[in-house]
Amino acid sequence: MHHGGLHEDAIAGKAYDARLLRRFLGYLVPYRLTVGWILCLLPLTTLCRLAQPLLLKYAIDHAITPGRLDLLAGPAALFLVLLLLEALLTWGEVYGLQMVGQRVMADLRAALFQHLLRLPVPWFDRSAAGGVVTRLTSDVEALGEMFAAGIVSVIGDFLLLAGIVAAMLWMDPRLSLVTFTVLPPLIFVAWLFRRNMRQAFREVRSRLGKMNGHLAEVLGAVSVVQAFGREREEQARFSELNAAHRDANRPVINWDASLYAIVEMFSSLAIALIIWYGSGQVLQGLLTFGTLVAFIQYIEKFFGPIRDLSAKYGIMQGAMAALERIFVLLDEKEEGDEVTKAPLPPFDNGGLSAFVEFRNVSFAYRADEPTLTDFNLTLQKGERLALVGESGGGKTTVIRLLSRMYELDQGQILVDGVDIRQMPRELLRRRMALVSQEPFIFAGTVGFNICLGDQQAAERIHQAAATVGADRFIEQLPQGYDTELAERGGDLSLGERQLLCFARAVALDPELLILDEATASVDSESERLIQEGVDRLLAGRTALVIAHRLSTVRDADRIVVINRGRVVEEGRHDQLLTLNGEYARLYCLQFDCRAD
């Protein structure tokens, strides 16, 4: 269960939010020239559409009604030119908007992904993975729909509406007022529908986030699902969430279809009013037949943008909601390096080792549950120190604080005499390498997974693999170090993946090596292969080893026992057994004490 994380899936948004749009316009700045010429096309397209009914009026009043069919050729040719020009201009608008939309979407995805990589680890602990994925996928796609519908074309719709109103008032004010009598009830209905659609959109986004979260959870643990025969249960759960998302869309479809139908009804009503009133005016000689036809044409064109706006309303509302969720994520505070006014002393690395000291460190994931309390620890240069203790005692927390994945609450952690909070995180983390219990393999070649794109590490790939014994299985792969690995290294055994992680640590050439249960999940043969290279790997380096299997730390220079966030014992293996304390108790739980 996540507490206080990313729960903005329920945000419905407004159809128009000036604050969000102003911020969004910043992403359009690189494409301002393209957007500029699209805006220039809008009034030209509007003029083409406004001229067509006027041309039709002229043809009826000056050619058809008087019986001068010889005068129809010019208006007909001009009408055809206007249609072709309108089509060409519309194509330019749509093409330009789609191109800009795709580029803005790509920029937003890149910005979101870059931002996510810089967020602190605690943020991910309290944020649902499904909600995060939704930001980069569905929400960005909602912006694409906004461009596809034509956010700029909304301006064109308003221009067309204004032009039609002006043309109608210019031709006949009284007939225009008759037409506009349908607008007040139409506006009221649109306002009523807007409120209901907003709630419907809120439910859709909430259900989508839950479905994405379930997908991320199940696909990330598919082997566990299969091992415990949970396929049917997980399928049933997904079907339930999928059906809930489908059902949540029904009100949106219903309100959207109803609004479209009502706009059509008012359009027909307006035409009926024009025919009823205008016919009497024509019979009285107060209105030409061409003007009446032009009015009907304008009414059809008038309600066209209104129909479009009713359809675009839902899209705009979804886009505004997506923008709000995207900007909420972008506003999350990134990992920042504190600025210190004091000059940093030069590092005395002493070759490949580092001196580490924990001074009165206290830390808690939750305020009422301290994990480390007044914790003190020193790692001498070149020392191999092992941390042991029961699960939940704080061993892994020591690593997280040392690498500044989390910030300590009280005390200091110093590396070579410098408080790590005064170091840039990138510099601090480059000085250490972590090999964890769960090896992570990236999609790419074997060589890439060893060096991770680091140019200096790339020069040490073969040497690093040979050091830990990974070269034995790598050379048997089809393309050796150039072999493409499947996602998460699914085509390698667990031991082979762990060997690659050890080779990665060697290639990065760290001053401080951290092994967090690094051999707990591998078989005995893989552990033997790894152990053969560990001594060469640790030579001259400060090493912090966390282990449950005490057999792996017997040769450590010093063993520190942690219990409930405090150091309770420390010494060498034989010394701690002699004390007959916490270490001896842990040792006897794993081995037959009489055998030692």
Question: Which secondary-structure segment (H or E) carries 411?
Answer: strand 410-415
Axis-axis angle for helices 289-330, 183-220 (nearest 10): 30
What pLDDT, on a 0 to 100 scale, did the predictor assign at position 5? Answer: 45
CATH 1.20.1560.10 fits 18-330, yes or no: yes
Residue with tokens 């949106």: 252
| Best CA proximity match to 361, nearest among 159, 565, 138 | 565
What pLDDT, on a 0 to 100 scale, did the predictor assign at position 391? Answer: 79
What pLDDT, on a 0 to 100 scale, did the predictor assign at position 151? Answer: 65
What pLDDT, on a 0 to 100 scale, did the predictor assign at position 12? Answer: 47
CATH class given for the domain over 356-595: alpha beta
Domain with CATH 1.20.1560.10 in the chain: 18-330
DSSP assigned state of 119? S
Domain with CATH 3.40.50.300 in the chain: 356-595
Residues in the chain, pLDDT under 70: 1-17, 129-130, 148-153, 194-199, 202, 220, 223, 307, 309-311, 313-314, 336-353, 518-540, 551, 592-596
| Best CA proximity match to 328, nearest among 2, 555, 5 | 5
Q: Are strands 384-388 and 542-546 parallel, antiparallel or unpaired?
A: parallel
What pLDDT, on a 0 to 100 scale, did the predictor assign at position 88? Answer: 93
Count CB atoms within 10 A of the CB of residue 379. 23
What pLDDT, on a 0 to 100 scale, did the predictor assign at position 7? Answer: 45
Query: What's the start-to-end Cα distance of the chain, in Å?
Result: 45
CB 176 within 8 A of CB 169: yes
Burial-class residue 173 by CB neighbours within 10 Å (0-12, 13-18, 19+). Answer: exposed
List CB contacts of 242: < 8 A, sequence separation 6 or more: 211
CB 489 within 8 A of CB 446: no
Burial-class residue 78 by CB neighbours within 10 Å (0-12, 13-18, 19+). Answer: middle
List CB contacts of 88: < 8 A, sequence separation 6 or more: none
What pLDDT, on a 0 to 100 scale, did the predictor assign at position 339? Answer: 43
What pLDDT, on a 0 to 100 scale, did the predictor assign at position 413? Answer: 92
Burial-class residue 242 by CB neighbours within 10 Å (0-12, 13-18, 19+). Answer: middle
Q: b/e for 399-415, b at 16 or more Cβ within 10 A?
A: bbbbbbbbebeebebbb
Q: Where are the beta strands (DSSP E) in 326-368?
A: 356-366
